[in-house]
Amino acid sequence: MAKDPRIDRLRKVPLFDTCDEKQLEFIASRVDEVDVSAGKVLTEQGRSGGEFFIILSGDADVKRGGKTVATLRGSNTTAF
């Protein structure tokens, strides 16, 4: 069986440093990879969300009151 490429991507995220192969397989089986268009809102302050994001490439702006307060850069290691 071909190895799931999501496992290799998860392995590069520091949050998952201590996960073994079986744990990474479990996480990968629950991951949905999506392409997000520029300007799309992923979450909003105060909203209770059930998502977890890992930025593989590109940037995500963090805004408060319409003003950018941080920019998260995709690098296979940025997770929020």
pLDDT in tens, 14-28: 889 999 999 999 999
Cβ-in-10-Å burial (0-12, 13-18, 19+) of 25 comes to middle
Total structural domains in the chain? 1
Contact in structure between 53 and 62 (CB atoms under 8 Å): no
Can you name the residues that pair with 60 across neighbouring β-strands? Answer: 72
The mean-pLDDT minimum among 4-8, 9-13, 58-62, 75-79 falls in: 75-79
pTM score of the predicted model = 0.70
Band the pLDDT of 47: cuts 50, 70, 90. confident
Which amino acid, 27? I
Whole-number average pLDDT of the chain: 86
Q: Provide the pLDDT for residue 67.
A: 92
Range of the domain at 41: 5-79
Instruction: State yes or no: pLDDT of 46 exceeds 90.
Output: no
C-alpha angle 77/40/63, rounded to 5°?
Answer: 70
